[in-house]
Amino acid sequence: MSSPISSIRNLGPAFEQSCHKAGILTAEELRAMGPDEAYARLLRAGTKPHFIGYYVLVMGLQGRPWNDCKGDEKKALRQRFDAIKAEAFDKNLSEFERILDSIGVIEKRR
């Protein structure tokens, strides 16, 4: 039996729709691949990177409230997020485009 992605704590219908666009169809599939691979797939499918969205996913997969991430744990997640973003989203951007993206100016690709 498969469960909808929105059955995972913190993850609603909009996130579920993004997952479906990335080929992630069930909560079980999302749990099995883990937050880092899932987030990379979301970025490659056109989701705009956002740190809060990433750590909400991590917290949800751990069964924790979305705002439970603090201090050193949050800093460590930020490093993981930056690495995923660099590999799955920023890889084909020029340095100029990366700067524009960091201030929210660059248009979404795809």
For the chain, domains (ranges, CATH) are: 5-102 (1.10.150.20)
The model's pLDDT over 45-76, given as tens digits with 9 standing for 90+, comes to 989 999 999 999 999 999 999 999 899 999 99
**What pLDDT, on the 0 to 100 scale, is given for residue 1?**
83
Confidence of residue 99 (pLDDT cuts 50, 70, 90): low
Task: Count Cα neighbours of 86 within 13 Å in the Cβ-side half-sphere.
Answer: 7
**What pLDDT, on the 0 to 100 scale, is given for residue 86?**
85
Contacts of 27 (CB under 8 A, 6+ apart): 2, 3, 4, 5, 7, 8
